[in-house]
Structure 1
Amino acid sequence: MLTPEQFKNVFKDPIPASSPHITILAKPNGLNHPRLGLAIPKKHIKLAVGRNRVKRVARESFRIHQHQLPAVDLVVIAKGGCGNLTNEELAKLIGKLWQRIVRRCNG
């Protein structure tokens, strides 16, 4: 997702999947594929290298799981402590949240 309007649309009445470190919000998009948006605030991850690492892991996880996801717009939001997780822990956590989104959108 690229424009602020697309992000605002997801923030209005989303389908959430949450953990203590990451929240994923989903909203049907009317397309035939999912789209990803990232919100990694400086407030929670101070250094750019940490924010970029979280973005990289989230994008890679999305790339791997996108064919299982319904046609929704997704926003991944990092919370406090997210930067302390290893790449493996982060990927595993995001993978679990994708599955929760699939269940909530299809069920």
Structure 2
Amino acid sequence: MSVKAGQREFLLLARPSEQSHHRLGLAVAKKHVARAVRRNRIKRIARECFRHLPTPTVPLDIVFLTRPGAGDLDKVALARGIDRQFRRLLERATA
């Protein structure tokens, strides 16, 4: 069973993991975020939000995908949006 959550600028996909811990995959496309500095910032913020998640009972494999416009968000809006969608994803995955 896979679960998804997202907003206009990015999408999160998750499914139960065969591992005993969570895993995060990041796909920040050059097509959607042209500058390497912005791509790295998005990845850094996504990893930090992932690290601060509460530990759910089921280990998950999570994939983070960008959409057009992801590079236009400022740091605060990006972190807030990613954190909100990670929590929404966990709610759906553990329900």
* Fold in common (TM above 0.5): yes
Gaps of 5+ in 2: none
8 Å Cα contact 1:17-1:101 kept in structure 2? yes
Report % sequence identity: 37
Q: Deviations over 1:26-54 (max 9, x none)?
A: 01112232100000001100111111110
| Distance of aligned partners of 1:24 and 1:51 in 2 relative to their CA distance in 1, 3 Å threshold | same
Matching residue within 15, 31, 34 for 2:3: 15
Matching residue within 73, 77, 85 for 2:65: 77
| 1:66 CA drift (Å) | 5.3
Paired residues in the alignment total 95
Root-mean-square deviation (CA), in Å? 1.6
Calculate the TM-score normalised by the size of structure 1.
0.81
| Distance of aligned partners of 1:104 and 1:85 in 2 relative to their CA distance in 1, 3 Å threshold | same
Greater helix percent: which structure? 1
Q: Which has the higher contact order (CA 8 A, sep 6+)?
A: 2
| 1:51 counterpart residue number | 39
Calculate the TM-score normalised by the size of structure 2.
0.90
Matching residue within 78, 89, 93 for 2:77: 89
Matching residue within 27, 42, 62 for 2:50: 62
